[in-house]
Amino acid sequence: MRQRALPPGKAVKSGAQVGWPYSVHPIWCATMILHETALPEDIRVDDSQALLFHDVLEDTLVELPNYLSDRVKKLVQNMTFESSDVEMLKVWDKPIEVKLFKLYDKVSNLMDAIWMSPEKLRKYREYTNRLTREVQTHYGELNIVKLAKILAADQQ
């Protein structure tokens, strides 16, 4: 894979966050959508590839692999934002499929939310709840929707 420059202010994740390898998060997201049998198989296959590579452009210095289809590359590009604040504003203009992917991404992050400040966690839960409502309206009661409702619920 070819290396590229990161946008200004972007840190490169290396090795581990909170004690486990960087790869655990995208693998979890990709695996979870593959288990989403309420979605058609062809969608799950492409979508799992997009989720597997969804943080490459945001968090590394490498390009997407050439062997990915143009559709998967476009999906990854649509999931890529300059920051989480920008994402939370601009994701609503993206296709519903991108919002579905972001729901997997956010649920995974909420599962290891120990790194979040109370304010960040509150904001994350609000964002995840909004994503959940949109995804549920379009796709129905998926497994990821059920998990999101539990993890994004206000714990106070």
Structure tokens at 137: 């309206």
CA-nearest of 29, 62, 63, 61 to 48 is 29
CATH, residue 143 = 1.10.3210.10
The whole-model pTM stands at 0.85
Looking at the chain, the whole-number percentage of residues with pLDDT higher than 90 is 68
Q: How many domains does the chain have?
A: 1
DSSP designation for 21: E
Boundaries of domain holding 38: 19-151
pLDDT on residue 95: 95
Q: Are 36 and 142 in contact (CB under 8 A)?
A: yes
The pLDDT value recorded for residue 120 is 92
Note whether residue 142 is domain-resident. yes
Question: What pLDDT score does 112 carry?
Answer: 84
Q: What is the arithmetic mean of pLDDT over 33-59?
A: 91
14, part of any domain: no
| Structural domain includes residue 156 | no
Average pLDDT over residues 65-79: 94
- Listed in sequence order, the residues at least 6 apart from 115 whose beta carbon sits closer than 8 Å to its beta carbon are 17, 18
Query: Average pLDDT for residues 51-58, to the nearest whole number?
Result: 89
Q: What is the distance between the alpha carbons of residues 57 and 80, in angstroms, rounded to a whole number?
A: 7
pLDDT per position as a tens digit, 94-118: 999 999 999 999 999 999 888 889 9
Mean pLDDT to the nearest integer, 127-139: 97
Mean pLDDT of the chain: 86
Residue 35, token pair as written in the block: 């288990």
Region 21-48: mean pLDDT is: 91
- Checking if the pLDDT of 18 tops 80, the result is no
**Has residue 2 been placed in a domain?**
no
Whether the CB-CB separation of 71 and 46 falls below 8 Å is answered with yes
Q: Does the residue 8 lie in any domain?
A: no
Q: How far is CA 135 from CA 25, 58, 110, 111, in A?
A: 20, 23, 17, 19
- In a domain, residue 4? The reply is no
C-alpha closest to that of 128 among 112, 147, 155: 147
Q: Is residue 7 included in any domain, yes or no?
A: no
Query: How many angstroms separate the CA atoms of 140 and 138, rounded?
Result: 6
Q: Which two tokens stand for residue 76?
A: 């990854």
Question: With 60 as the cut, is the pLDDT of residue 138 above it?
Answer: yes
**Is residue 12 situated within a structural domain?**
no
Q: How far is CA 43 from CA 34, 48, 71, 101, in A?
A: 9, 8, 11, 12
